[in-house]
Amino acid sequence: MSLQDPKLFGKVAVLFGGSSAEREISIMSGTGVLEALRSRGVDAHAFDPSERDLVELRREGFARCFIALHGRHGEDGTVQGALELLGIPYTGSGVMASSVAMDKVMTKRIWQADGLPTPKYVRLAFDQQSREQVRAVPDVLGLPLIVKPPREGSSIGVTKVEGYSQMQDAVTLSAKYDADVLCEEFIEGEEVTCAVLGQGLDARALPVVRIAAPQGAYDYQNKYFTDDVKYQCPSGLPEAEEHEIQRITLAAYHTLGCRGWGRADVMIRASDRKPFLLEMNTSPGMTGHSLVPMSARAAGIAYEDLCLRVLASASLDATGGAQ
């Protein structure tokens, strides 16, 4: 579809808000997308699935949806499945890829099966969280390690554990957000992120963004509400490292069956400069602090054009291509 004629998109719903722990971030993302699309002449309207029934999308004649929801019931395949049933094309990955990528444990299993590098981990299911089982985790993964809920994003419920005595509190915090708990080997080094635009053979990795957080605390507060985190894009990494990160990100994207767009978070181990995949975001943030817009800008793509490109890629699983 030509990006030159916004009228061809028809009536567009920007889905944001929702009911997940990331509602606040979703509202920030969706507001930015809505303004960008309208500025380019798209007939775009706000739609909050936590306040309105999705059936209203069809009743009100929406031709496609831009999903700016984050977290559960927005990024995990549930909204995607509802839109499939309604027959309304939507942005981002389909039902299965969205569902798998939302679960960091399932994602890691698939990446490991395909030989892609990801940190070692221990999954503590809801019935495997006795004091003895929790205390045994550092024996397997070493210290420090990371404890986090496998199905949340935006650094919610995440703890860096430095000693055995911190394990129980970290697991308790994580379990508030998810019955299962993911304990992950801590990779000492630099954090970077790499975005992907497109589908199949047309998918392209964008420039890598290097993240430098104060005291390494790239947490919820620093991600969205301070200017203390420093981002470098272009990354300044050696060309070979940049290309390797883009290569494994594209491979990770294809392996999960992602489409439209996505963003992988990666750690580069300081000791040997080996990159490790942490997770794949299938509905990346689009706030003023978000990383996909920053990476796109470095590739010469303005925020408004990025929104149009993503919208143009809206599709259904049944068709597999843009509508």
Q: Indicate which residues carry an active-site annotation.
A: 22, 154, 224, 263, 265, 279, 281, 285
**Cβ burial, residue 201 (10 Å; 0-12/13-18/19+):** exposed
Tell whether omega for the bond before 117 is within 30 degrees of 0, i.e. cis: no
**3-class secondary-structure state, position 133:** helix
Please give the full DSSP string across 183-241, using - where no structure is assigned: EEE---EEEEEEEEESSGGG-EEPPPEEEE-GGG---HHHHHS-S-SEEESS----HHH
What is the Cα–Cα distance from 279 to 300, expressed in whole angstroms? Answer: 26
b/e per residue 121-131 (b: at least 16 CB within 10 A): bbbbeeeebee
